[in-house]
Structure 1
């Protein structure tokens, strides 16, 4: 997947790609097996027919018609259930979960196999000939018909798997775990254990430069950093990507700045082709959006309509597993160097943004839930212990102070206040 270009990766991740591939395989399989049937000796007394279940022309037609019709009906029913489940889950834990269900390979595989079974049986059915057909020799593809029966048996097992899979995929623990996995994947991209040698961190903001407008409205969801580096190096220019991944840009706003500025117009189209804009954000490269999905699960769990503090605690613990890795590693580089020359500069998501997000968004909803407050204190303590940057340690302590001040202002029960304060002191001392 990492070797695929951005365009091919987008196609590969589409909901229809895997079902379409299954249908293509079904077409090839049907034609191949029928051709093999034509090559094998004909007649029920042929030696190879003894090893398969052979039925007559009418029986084969009826069997294929029953398998094909039932599989298409099962596919329609299964995905009607899926849409209903998605609607319920998205209303409870956020509409962005719909995209995660659509990207689920298990759901795609079930749809693909059920539909491809229908296509297979349809193509095999059309090859059956009887003596009464005009200008046709009797022909029954016994091997293809038996393979259809095996596919039907496999589809039954697949439907059982689908019921289990869809029931498991809407469980809160599975949703939180999936959001955490996506956050870890994108964090590894932006905060690796070892910064590449050609990537350095600079604080220099060079003035001037030729501006290249975005040319379209949308969110920056994909950046081809390697291609940008190559274009900058081959053109002997320095390029700065103005927005960060996840930022929204307008068509008239600058997308790049180029030095020397007179080369900007010449390189405009090539540089724009390295950026993918979309109407919605994606977790492929957007670490802020990936973290926001986990935080949103916690916030929605604390809403009065849901009132599920256990899920909020679970989400905070999953956030900790990701942020602890980020704060224990070097700061990400923001400038690509080629042969000692700065060629590409881009904005990164700083650690303080990643650390602030869960505290600032969950804290206003957590004052009525002591267990969530304790989880936030634990998160701050973990970050302070794992951080190799003093600024992050100070930031974690400040969030605990703000948390305690807000909790005191909410007039809690003295026992709850004493419990939270004692926990904060013990974790700070530890």
Structure 2
């Protein structure tokens, strides 16, 4: 990610919640000051048949009534919203609803409009206390106009917006969009034939001189890391501190404890307190820890929210499998996008050239994040199982990386559906489903295996399997075991 785009993300993330305050301040201070200045400069009596002070006096009760209506409607509306949020917390995680209100641009714009309108209606009346003979007609007219517009247009628009967006489909779609957008930024390059099949974390060897930099931040979640700044700072320090390798210990989104969690492990010739202080200052600038997790650089957070919604939906207290199906669909689209990308992330591949190693999840772990818990809690519901099978099956034709294909196939095979959904369990009444549902699961599983076999054959015919095997056989000194296992697994699956 470019430094400019990263800093822009950093500035905007968790800042939208202040937009309502900013907009109301703009109305009350900036716009109010301009209008009051115009009132002092312009004599409105020249444009009306009656004195402007008399018009101003008549308009004040009208604006007061409008302000009272706006305050009443706003309090009632947001009280209802908070009640709905409490009721919905059984289905949605509170952080999801909090994010909807605090980080939604239009909600904050509505709040800013209503509060700012009230301020513009009250401001001229306050000024009249100090200037009783000066009619602040322009300011009051603008405030009254905005109040009428708010009641006639903005308030109905807000209600419509809330009704459309505070439902399962809109919330899950919004979460999915955030994750997909972040994947596009973090994993900017698509996987192509000849790229690395797998990604494994680099581990810092403990038998070397390692300088450990612990977190100087208050306890919270690692929200993001400015890798451009980190790289620049480390390369500048390399000449004076003579470090050899740097390892980022926590994954983005991990919980960080102050003075406890190790953020960086730096391999140096000799460990000293002066070095420690220098690197500590760099960490304080490059790392960002927050009370809440964020989708910025943390695509697992969006997945976590979708999984939470899905699990709660199939709990006995909620019993809403349709919502869980919606979450599985959105997770499938996220997996489809990530399956086409090259691991590790673009930043990680650039930094590793300078011996700076980022700690990231791999594709195998990501697939587990997406489906393991939903399957664990929904494996006895054939509707949930069938949708998981169908979702993964629909992804298979888009997967070009043999390792990613192997992971998706393993994900289904390790569910061991044949040992759960079989005729023996049905006859012994271990399965609380009809025979028709049992037959449906068997057909879906068979359809998945046929699709998987077809995709393996396609990759084999295109030479995606042999090219890696032949390259590793030619290099007798280094054979990537994970690549060999991947190719062997797919070839065995064909048989």
Tell me the TM-score range normalised by the shorter chain: 0.7 to 0.9
Q: 3-state DSSP class of the match of 2:5? A: coil
Aligned to 1:168: 164
TM-score by length of 1: 0.87
Q: Which runs of 5+ in 1 are unaligned?
A: none
Quote how far apart the aligned CAs of 1:293 are: 0.9
Quote how far apart the aligned CAs of 1:299 are: 1.3
1:257 is matched with which residue: 262, 265, 275? 265
Deviation track 1:285-320 (CA, whole Å, cap 9, x = no partner) reads 212121111122211111112222222111111111
Moved more, 137-146 or 369-378: 137-146
Deviation track 1:293-352 (CA, whole Å, cap 9, x = no partner) reads 1122211111112222222111111111111111122112474557x9515211112111
Aligned to 1:81: 80
Say yes or no: does 1:241 pair with 2:248.
yes
Deviation track 1:236-272 (CA, whole Å, cap 9, x = no partner) reads 1443211110112332232111232543332212223
Aligned to 1:429: 450
2:5 is matched with which residue: 2, 5, 11? 2
Task: Return the alpha-carbon distance in structure 2 between the equivalents of residues 138 and 320 of structure 1.
Answer: 68
Q: 3-state DSSP class of the match of 1:305? A: coil
CA contact (8 A) 1:313 1:372 kept: yes
CA contact (8 A) 2:20 2:108 kept: yes
Aligned to 2:203: 205
Quote how far apart the aligned CAs of 1:7 are: 6.2
Counterparts of 1:37-116 in structure 2, within 5 Å, are 37-43=39-45, 46=46, 48-49=47-48, 56-101=55-100, 102-116=102-116
Distance 1:291 1:137, change over 3 A: closer
Aligned to 2:150: 155
Aligned to 2:303: 291
Aligned to 2:15: 12
Q: 3-state DSSP class of the match of 1:93? A: coil
CA contact (8 A) 1:52 1:143 kept: no
Aligned to 2:220: 218
Task: Return the alpha-carbon distance in structure 2 between the equivalents of residues 417 and 10 of structure 1.
Answer: 47
Counterparts of 1:317-332 in structure 2, within 5 Å, are 317-332=329-344
CA contact (8 A) 2:201 2:360 kept: no
Distance 1:369 1:137, change over 3 A: closer
Quote how far apart the aligned CAs of 1:202 are: 7.6
Task: Return the alpha-carbon distance in structure 1 between the equivalents of residues 397 and 449 of structure 2.
Answer: 9
Task: Return the alpha-carbon distance in structure 1 between the equivalents of residues 293 and 381 of structure 2.
Answer: 31
Greater fraction of residues in helix: 2
TM-score by length of 2: 0.76
Distance 1:186 1:387, change over 3 A: same
Distance 1:143 1:337, change over 3 A: closer
Aligned to 2:387: 375
Task: Return the alpha-carbon distance in structure 2 between the equivalents of residues 296 and 62 of structure 1.
Answer: 51
CA contact (8 A) 1:52 1:142 kept: no
When the two chains are superposed, the root-mean-square deviation of aligned CA atoms in Å is 2.9
* Aligned residue-pair number: 416
Say yes or no: does 1:23 pair with 2:25.
yes
Quote how far apart the aligned CAs of 1:178 are: 1.4
Counterparts of 1:327-366 in structure 2, within 5 Å, are 327-333=339-345, 335=348, 337=350, 342-366=354-378
Moved more, 95-104 or 2-11: 2-11
Q: 3-state DSSP class of the match of 2:222? A: strand
Deviation track 1:362-402 (CA, whole Å, cap 9, x = no partner) reads 11232343222211111221333322232332232233232
Task: Return the alpha-carbon distance in structure 1 between the equivalents of residues 64 and 110 of structure 2.
Answer: 20
CA contact (8 A) 1:202 1:335 kept: no
Aligned to 2:124: 124
Task: Return the alpha-carbon distance in structure 1 between the equivalents of residues 114 and 237 of structure 2.
Answer: 51
